[in-house]
Structure 1
């Protein structure tokens, strides 16, 4: 009987994923004491049984659910610079039913806090050992005050160091907990999280086997000047150029759709390829005697042209892309509303200029050069050479997505970085970009596909199939590789099957329990989705071309 019980216990402690993979347990969690991990201290290990209440909140992220499988929450304090006494808070969530892989999830904005929402929303439910860090400080995503004055050490932690040390520590924690090394390591993040993923593979190419990155803030030295430039196109609010939210919603948005919506073969409120839309705001010019709330002044039309244009300096140096037609309802919640979006001002105050009184009215082009030279925290992640990550024997993969209607980071930035990688690979290697890096622009989707943003409680997910398994999103329709971009990445890395499209879903009110509004394929760049006929709410009625 003792032998039979022992065999039963052994069988219950493993799950088959090609190789036998150890399981976690309440006893293992309570007894866990990692050893010999330099500069890493365990601060807590808490076991959550299946369907227990998981209610965790920090200044950056929160989760409150009873839907999770059993897992062990391991909390760590990682010394990032012993001389300076700096440290990062990191958590590793270890599911009992482990799939043998780690998944590191990123952060957002300038924020500091373990991203518990994605550890519980993405990693643990799919069997990953999830890793996340507060990046060395605690703050909301729009608060950069922790970076000054001259807090360079904390900025470096945020820029790259805390994530890297957390990845190294998290893998070792998983190895010691399960008594088996992870067989694969993955990453998922959007915005700053996208930047973090690209930065890691650029400087530590062996950290991950594959990454999913969304709308990356990877060119901070250009993104933040562009953000201020966009704001100054319309502010102050009493200027002749200012465009109120109601004008975006009721005047500009409908005219954009009138001019451009039918170009893809279907009138559905979504512009599938805004590059094909030559929007002419002059059609909205006020005529004598017209109600001014139904048209645009010449100053507003000039502002619109600048908003939709790429940003070049006087010497024709490219700085950043512009907004694209199709996201008008969200644009005033982003960079062209009132008051100014807070993050860029904090970036310059605390990261670049160390001047807490600086306001965006003092902006001039010289601070672009200064920001490039300082590159605070080495945060720019614009290296086009991904050879060490992508080439044999590592063979790493990148899946990159961006909303064509992104209101915080121009989708042009994603296209620009993809094309620099493409050009470098073609000119300097034998690699074809399609073999390691694929970009998926999402028609109609706002920043990262999330429903709520910093500025307001407005719905800003976009009229888009904005749920496809990425972070910060509602759950995908299915966790298979057709509907879940993370599953598609695993299939590409582990089975060699690369995705050419992902099927996204738009839920009614962006709430899965409210039902499906429509499904739509998200096509691999540079192709775009086309309507072939049939039911416009079904992805089967569309194709990529």
Structure 2
């Protein structure tokens, strides 16, 4: 099948703009949060519990809640929505620290003694209100934090991008302290609200990207205290910051035009039209390749699996020549920039050139809007060195042209950034496999998901995480990892998932109702799998699958999940099995669009 430029243009153009397709009742301008208090939903109920209540109200007919649109919360353009009427919603802050949190408490007759924490995204500051929408429908109170600052990755304000990270306290808040505090006090306030007869029985966490890292970090710090989580659902985690952040910086710099004398400019080489061409080229080059390597992706025809690794395999010369043939509109400079981004972060380790963090797969270029899009260039090409590593610089100015030149301690800028980022990662004390395995001491469960077309955090990163964990502790009955073929970062297949015009309905199934997914689907309910949400079906719903795994004494780890692709927000186009890694789904029946035709097999 041939894919036209207009098809790929639509795909890229809509990347990241799910807000545009949400129902009017969900949009920011429609939400006026309640300030009506009654019953237990009063400031007095939460007095002397260690936090200050900034705002509180009983949710009424508006069924939404948040602290306001930009500039109040620069990164948060949507509220929590479809909250059950009669819920108590509040915003609280620590009296001596800078972090805040939002808490939603469903009516007592809908509460099932469950507690959820929801993670954040990127470096953004602000409470992730949309991802607080789902939990009350599973009978849970839910908390989310602002990570200790208000900012937007793509904004131009004094705290936007990574400018806030020059403050060591804010770095610590973002890394773990704000989430720790939100969970700790969120649990205290929840128990105070419902009373001793309805104290929390089970605790859960759900988050993607930065939210995934926050969840893993919480496991590390709270495997042996009252703030531990019984079930943790992680998608595409940014767990390896010390190498991931320099990789994003390297990609952003690779995408900047250089003058003849090597001076790096601020002019991007690859922009949306080139991303479109690269995505179309990837499917042309890779279609029909032999499957079987670790990085897999469904082709647009939806009828078989292709392997991106078989197309690229680190052979940049061969792939560049293939691009020359199938995408003649790309210049030599554009092809070179693309291949450099695909390669990932390459640095000298003990004198040997080594790929220390994988690059994004060909075919995932729609996700480049998250790191290379308008307004983000300064965040990702200079933010790490300029702000996060400001203490390490010790007053030595940073400019992007230091990247290839001797900068400090006899190292080039690239080498110095990698070294200092590694040290900074150690300071943050990134979670390790030993930390995760500690969950087994109290019967905790961990589910990890990652889309194979993720162009922000490549699936190979989670493959490595899975390997490190299982090297320490076998999966047994506590850990499962599912790759989602064709899914991009956290949620989506860009065209169908965003409910925009498309030409063939061939997109792969990706929806399992976990972090960010109801929002990107444009679901007016904000939770669950449409047509399978009353009650939630654990075969299709990743949240309910975790709840059943934790709470049913006879439950075994999920042997598979069923992902769904929708036409719009409710019409099912196809379903397909997701298999625990390293298994994969094999077509054993006659209908490629029906999950019953797919069987999990061992590779």
TM normalised by structure 1 equals 0.80
Q: Indicate which of 457, 481, 494 corresponds to 1:439.
A: 481
Out of 109, 116, 135, the position equivalent to 1:123 is 135
Q: 2:435 aligns with which of 381, 386, 389?
A: 386
The aligned residue for residue 513 of structure 2 is 469
Q: Residue by residue, what CA displacement relative to the aligned partner does 1:261-303 show, whole Å, maximum 9, x if unpaired?
A: 575698644574636633452563647xxxx963656665554
Could you tell me how far apart the structure 1 residues matched to 2:84 and 2:289 are? 43
**1:60 aligns with one of 56, 72, 75:** 75
1:230 paired to 2:251: yes
Structure 1 residue 246 and structure 2 residue 273: aligned? Answer: yes
Could you say which residue in structure 1 is the equivalent of 2:420? 370
Contact 2:279 2:363 survives alignment (8 Å): no
Give the secondary structure class of the aligned counterpart of 1:504.
strand
Partner of residue 76 from structure 1, selected from 79, 92, 101: 92
Equivalent in 492, 497, 500 of residue 556 of structure 2: 497
Q: Offset at 1:260?
A: 3.1
**Greater CA drift, 534-543 or 96-105:** 534-543
Q: 1:283 to 1:152 in 2, by over 3 A?
A: closer
1:398 aligns with 2:435: no
With over 3 angstroms needed to count, the CA separation of the structure-2 counterparts of 1:322 and 1:382, relative to structure 1, is: farther
Greater CA drift, 466-475 or 359-368: 359-368
> How many Å separate the matches in 1 of 2:85 and 2:585?
37
Task: For residue 27 of structure 1, give the secondary structure of its aligned residue in structure 2.
Answer: coil
Superposed displacement of residue 307, structure 1? 3.3
> Which consecutive residues of structure 1, in runs of 5 or more, have no partner in the other structure?
1-24, 80-84, 426-431
Given the two structures, how large is their TM-score scaled by the length of structure 2?
0.73
| Distance change >3 Å, CA 307–CA 380, structure 1 → 2 | farther
Choose which of 181, 197, 201 in structure 2 pairs with 1:165. 181
- The match for 1:277 is 310
In the aligned structure 1, how far is the partner of 2:585 from the partner of 2:384?
37
Residue in 2 that maps onto 1:486: 543
- Which residue of the other structure, out of 26, 29, 33, is the alignment partner of 2:45? 33
Q: 1:17 maps to which residue?
A: none
| Conserved 8 A contact 2:485-2:510 | no
Deviation at 1:159, TM superposition (A): 0.9
Do residues 536 (structure 1) and 592 (structure 2) align?
Answer: yes
What is the CA-CA distance between 1:118 and the residue it aligns to? 1.2
2:24 corresponding residue in structure 1:
none
Highest RCO, 1 vs 2 (Cα 8 Å, sep ≥ 6): 2
DSSP 3-state at the match of 2:583: coil
Q: What's the CA shift for 1:30?
A: 3.5
Q: 1:128 to 1:67 in 2, by over 3 A?
A: closer
Query: Match of 1:540, SS?
Result: helix
1:191 Cα shift? Answer: 0.7
Residue in structure 1 matched with residue 369 of structure 2 by the alignment: 333
Distance apart, 1:102 and its partner CA: 0.3
Structure 1 contact 54–65 (Cα < 8 Å) conserved: yes
Over the aligned positions, Cα root-mean-square deviation in angstroms equals 3.5
Give the C-alpha shift of residue 370 in structure 1. 0.8
Q: Counterpart of 1:320? A: 357
Query: Are the equivalent residues in 2 in contact too, given 1:308–1:325 (CA < 8 A)?
Result: yes
Describe the superposition over 1:311-336 as per-residue Cα deviations: whole angstroms up to 9, x where unpaired. 331234552112223324x1542446
Shift of the 251–413 alpha-carbon distance from structure 1 to 2, 3 Å rule, reads closer
Superposed displacement of residue 72, structure 1: 0.3
Contact 1:218 1:380 in 2 (8 A): no
Matched position secondary structure for 1:135: coil
Deviation at 1:98, TM superposition (A): 0.8
Choose 319-328 or 520-529, whichever is displaced more.
319-328
Query: 2-side partners of 1:326 and 1:526: how far apart?
Result: 22
Cα distance between partner residues in 1 of 2:437 and 2:319 = 46
Name the SS for the 1:130 alignment partner.
strand
Cα distance in 1 for partners of 2:460, 2:93 equals 38
Assess if the C-alpha contact under 8 Å between 2:368 and 2:456 holds in 1: no
Deviation digits for residues 150-180 of structure 1 (CA, Å, limit 9, x no counterpart) = x111211111011111111111111111113
Where does the alignment leave 5 or more consecutive residues of structure 2 unmatched?
1-36, 155-159, 263-267, 292-296, 313-317, 404-413, 519-526
Distance 1:458 1:369 in 2: 44
CA distance in 1, matches of 2:452, 2:590: 25
